[in-house]
Chain A
Amino acid sequence: MIKRVIKKLFCLVIVLVILSFLVFALLYIAPGDPAEKRLTSQGVAITKEVLDSERERLGLLKPFLVRYGEWLLCIVRGDFGISFKDDMPVAPKLVAGLRNTSILALTSLFVSLIISFPLAIISAIRKDGITDHIVRLFSFVGNSLPNFLISVLLMYLLCIKLNLFPVIASGNIQGLFMPVVSLAIPMTGRFVRQIRSEFLNEMKEDYVIGMKGRGVSCRYIILNLVHNCLGHVFTIVALQIGSLMSGSVVIETIFRWPGIGKLVMDSITARDYPVIMGFVIIMGTIYVVINQLSDILCHYLDPRTEI
């Protein structure tokens, strides 16, 4: 058991190293030369001498693998390099953005779990009943709505037609409302569908039939079912973290929420590569770590599953 966990952690490290290598290689896929990009994004007139000295200064003349190694060491120490755009260190920018994004993402995750969990269970218990049909219809439509569309429509309805909210999000709870709802609607749709099908699978197990046969009260059976599903619910949530991340890029850009997603979109427009690389490293690490942890957690909550 502990051996498996160690193996899992080892895999995690390997995946992270490969992730960092791919991200570093991104700079090479990108058209153009970093020194040139840096100079143009600062608005310096490019001559041969300026370009060469810049290359020397950035250490671009060293071999690829040496530079990768140096870069990786810096990243491990928490130094994400210096922004091309304004010569400020990247790490504080990313941390500040990440904090705002976490507020947004965790709130919407919380909201959609609170809504979807009871709905999914009711829908599964009353399978093919009228409640089930209504819940399924709404979760299906929610799942089909792109979040940029939801936010534009919400803006139209709440800000312009009903005049309830300011168009540009302010840093308070009122400003948080619309971004959270836009992120939560498609996620709730997906959660309801997945948790419902998980619950239905669980209801087919022999022990449920046995309990029903012994006349165990319905409430107690449901309690047991919830307990046994919890591990899978963790996996479902962990897999949704990815769409939560990309969703927050879109939503933050629309509502001008000062998170990491808006930061990366601005950096993409400005071709500010150190910030983009830092973003991918951080997001990839969070995603991979959460997913591996959820596998281990899933096993502890539900020993029937293998790691």
Chain B
Amino acid sequence: MKKKKIKAKIIVVSAIAIMLILVTVFADFFAPNDPYTTSASSIRLAPCLKYPFGTDNLGRCVLSRVLYGGRTTIAATFALVFISFAIGAIVGMLCGYYGGIFDKLLMRIADILLAFPQMVVAIVVAGILNGGLGGAMIALGITMWVSFARLSRSHTYSLKNQDFIKAALFAGKSDLYIIAVHIFPNILPPVLTNALTQIGTTMIGLSGLSFLGLGVVPPAAEWGSMISEARAYIQIAPWAVLYPALATVFTIIVFNYLGDVVMDYREA
């Protein structure tokens, strides 16, 4: 009964999440204006029919920039989570399956990476790399794969000694085949749940770096950098800050909630 209720919640929330993704992916279609066209005659216009969210300091349409910025934020977040997921799952499965010195070495490295404050490392590395969005993604990714690796390692470790794996071994299947066909599908649910819960945190991290000027380089639209830019004239044009801020909060809440309900579902 309880499970059914949570399932309904998951469907609703994921529908909202998919809608968010679709709206930003097809930003060209939904955006009423070009996000990069500056216009001297329409600087800092209050929200009106032509510019539903108003315009910013250079006369650019805030709604269009929010949509395009969402594409940057969401795409970068998904890419980063996916890459960390892939690296972490592969490292974790190999370590858990084979064990031995490589396992020990990699897990020590993971321990050491976890010993440092993640965002502090990210700020410094992104600052030193100075490489725009790519630099920010590398900076966050350095420590992100670790949680995936540890999770998939521990699950692989407990799966390894189960009878169906032994059966596959006796049937003469290769190690690679066993990892890909028998282990991977079984570790997928917990690791995917972890990936879901990481989306919100990654988004906060990426937009935080952009806000500090260590992520996306202007004039490219990104929520963090839009807020940072428009902060200077918040007294005159609060809409240029408030709408990207609302978009950020809404998106993070949706993805965090999705992570939470999926966790509840797995525990229920």
A interface residues (Cβ-Cβ under 8 A, vs B): 15, 18-19, 26, 29-31, 140-141, 143-149, 152-153, 155-156, 160, 241-243, 245-247, 249-250, 253, 264-265, 268-269, 276, 279-280, 283-284, 287-288, 291
The answer, among B123, B127, B228, B245, for a CB contact under 8 Å with A246, is: B123
Q: Please determine whether A148 and B224 come into contact, CB atoms closer than 8 angstroms.
A: yes
The B interface, classified by DSSP as helix, strand, loop or mixed, is helix
Residues of A contacting B214 in the complex (Cβ-Cβ under 8 angstroms): 268
Question: Would A242 and B120 be within 8 Å (CB), given that A26-B128, A276-B127 are in contact?
Answer: yes
A183 and B245 alpha carbons, distance in the complex (Å): 17
Residues of A contacting B192 in the complex (Cβ-Cβ under 8 angstroms): none
State how many angstroms separate the Cβ of A282 from the closest Cβ of chain B: 10
A69 and B130 alpha carbons, distance in the complex (Å): 28
Contact with A along B187-230 (1 / 0, CB 8 A): 00000000000001000100110011110000000001001100
A239 and B214 alpha carbons, distance in the complex (Å): 24
In chain B, what residue has the closest Cβ to A19?
A: B116
Q: Please determine whether A160 and B115 come into contact, CB atoms closer than 8 angstroms.
A: no
Judge if B14 is at the interface, Cβ distance under 8 Å: no
State how many angstroms separate the Cβ of A180 from the closest Cβ of chain B: 18
Judge if B105 is at the interface, Cβ distance under 8 Å: no
Q: Please determine whether B234 and A155 come into contact, CB atoms closer than 8 angstroms.
A: yes
Which one, B78-86, B88-96, B155-163, B252-260, is touching chain A? B252-260
Residues of B contacting A145 in the complex (Cβ-Cβ under 8 angstroms): 249, 252
Residues of B contacting A265 in the complex (Cβ-Cβ under 8 angstroms): 127, 212
Residues of A contacting B116 in the complex (Cβ-Cβ under 8 angstroms): 19, 242, 284, 287-288
A186 and B115 alpha carbons, distance in the complex (Å): 22
Q: Please determine whether A144 and B256 come into contact, CB atoms closer than 8 angstroms.
A: yes
A219 and B215 alpha carbons, distance in the complex (Å): 51
Q: Please determine whether A249 and B120 come into contact, CB atoms closer than 8 angstroms.
A: yes
The 8 A-B residue pairs with the shortest CB-CB distance, nearest first, are A242-B117, A246-B119, A268-B127, A146-B204, A148-B211, A144-B252, A144-B253, A30-B128
Residues of B contacting A279 in the complex (Cβ-Cβ under 8 angstroms): 124
| Given A15-B115, A145-B249, 15 further pairs, Cβ under 8 A | A15-B112, A146-B224, A152-B245, A155-B231, A242-B117, A242-B118, A246-B119, A246-B122, A246-B208, A249-B212, A250-B211, A250-B212, A265-B212, A268-B123, A280-B121
